[in-house]
Chains A and B, each alone.
Chain A
Amino acid sequence: MKYVLMFAETARYAEGLAAMSDAERQAAYDEVGRWFGDNAARITHHVHLRPPHTATTMRKLDGHAEVTDGPFVEGKEIVSGFVEAEVADLDEALAMARSWPGCPVIEIRPADA
Chain B
Amino acid sequence: MSSQDELARVVRDHAGRLAASLVHLLGDFSAAEDLVQDAIEAALRRWPVEGVPDRPDAWLFTVARNRGLDVLRRQARYREKLAQLAWPTREEPDDRLRLLFTCCHPALPRQAQIALTLRTICGLTTAQIAAAFLVPESTVAQRITRAKRKITDAGIPYRIPSDAELPERLDEVLTVVYLLYNEGYLSSTGDGAWSRRLAEDAEWLASSLAWTLPREPEVIGLLALIRLHQARAAARFDTGGRIVLLPDQDRARWDHSAIAEAGQLVARAAALGRPGPYQLQAAIVACHAEAPRWEDTDWAQIVVLYDMLLALAPSPVTRLHRAIARRHLAGPRPAMRELDGLAEHLDRYPLFHATRAELLRALGEAERAREADRRALDLTANPAQRALLEDRINWT
Give the B-binding residues of A (Cβ under 8 A).
1, 3, 88-91, 93-95, 109-110
Closest to A2 in B: B155
CA distance A16 to B149 in the complex (A): 39
- Known contacts A1-B155, A110-B155; is A90 also within 8 Å of B165 by CB? no
Query: CB distance A110 to B161 under 8 Å?
Result: no
Query: CB distance B157 to A110 under 8 Å?
Result: no
Chain A to chain B: the 8 pairs with minimum beta-carbon distance, closest first: A89-B157, A89-B155, A1-B155, A90-B155, A90-B156, A91-B157, A90-B154, A110-B155
Closest to A93 in B: B155
Shortest CB–CB separation between residue A100 and chain B, in angstroms?
A: 15
CA distance A95 to B168 in the complex (A): 12
Query: CB distance A90 to B107 under 8 Å?
Result: yes
Chain B positions within 8 Å of A3 at CB level: 155
Chain B positions within 8 Å of A89 at CB level: 155-157
B391 within 8 A of A: no
Chain B positions within 8 Å of A94 at CB level: 107
Query: CB distance B153 to A110 under 8 Å?
Result: yes
With an 8 Å Cβ cutoff, the count of chain B residues facing the other chain is: 12
- The B contact surface, by secondary structure, is loop
Interface members, chain B 116-174 (any A CB < 8 Å): 153-157, 159, 161-162, 164-165
Shortest CB–CB separation between residue B121 and chain A, in angstroms?
A: 20
Give the A-binding residues of B (Cβ under 8 A).
105, 107, 153-157, 159, 161-162, 164-165
Query: CB distance A91 to B165 under 8 Å?
Result: yes
Q: List 26 A-B contacts (CB under 8 A).
A: A1-B155, A3-B155, A88-B157, A89-B155, A89-B156, A89-B157, A90-B105, A90-B107, A90-B154, A90-B155, A90-B156, A90-B157, A91-B156, A91-B157, A91-B159, A91-B161, A91-B162, A91-B165, A93-B155, A94-B107, A95-B164, A95-B165, A109-B154, A110-B153, A110-B154, A110-B155
Shortest CB–CB separation between residue A35 and chain B, in angstroms?
A: 16
Chain A positions within 8 Å of B157 at CB level: 88-91
CA distance A95 to B106 in the complex (A): 13
Shortest CB–CB separation between residue A5 and chain B, in angstroms?
A: 13
Closest to A94 in B: B107
CA distance A93 to B156 in the complex (A): 10
Known pairs A89-B155, A91-B159, A91-B165 / 19 extra A-B pairs, C-beta < 8 Å: A1-B155, A88-B157, A89-B156, A89-B157, A90-B105, A90-B107, A90-B154, A90-B155, A90-B156, A90-B157, A91-B156, A91-B162, A93-B155, A94-B107, A95-B164, A95-B165, A109-B154, A110-B154, A110-B155
CA distance A38 to B154 in the complex (A): 24
Chain A positions within 8 Å of B156 at CB level: 89-91
Chain A positions within 8 Å of B162 at CB level: 91
Chain B positions within 8 Å of A91 at CB level: 156-157, 159, 161-162, 165
Chain B positions within 8 Å of A1 at CB level: 155
Shortest CB–CB separation between residue A24 and chain B, in angstroms?
A: 28
Shortest CB–CB separation between residue A38 and chain B, in angstroms?
A: 14
CA distance A89 to B155 in the complex (A): 5
Shortest CB–CB separation between residue A62 and chain B, in angstroms?
A: 33
Shortest CB–CB separation between residue A39 and chain B, in angstroms?
A: 16
CA distance A3 to B153 in the complex (A): 11
Chain B positions within 8 Å of A93 at CB level: 155
CA distance A91 to B157 in the complex (A): 7
CA distance A94 to B157 in the complex (A): 12
Closest to A87 in B: B155
Shortest CB–CB separation between residue B367 and chain A, in angstroms?
A: 48
CA distance A55 to B135 in the complex (A): 45
CA distance A88 to B153 in the complex (A): 13
CA distance A89 to B101 in the complex (A): 14
CA distance A95 to B165 in the complex (A): 8
Closest to B107 in A: A90
Shortest CB–CB separation between residue B83 and chain A, in angstroms?
A: 28
Closest to A95 in B: B165
Chain A positions within 8 Å of B165 at CB level: 91, 95
CA distance A95 to B105 in the complex (A): 14
Shortest CB–CB separation between residue B94 and chain A, in angstroms?
A: 16
Shortest CB–CB separation between residue A97 and chain B, in angstroms?
A: 11
CA distance A89 to B165 in the complex (A): 14
Chain A positions within 8 Å of B155 at CB level: 1, 3, 89-90, 93, 110
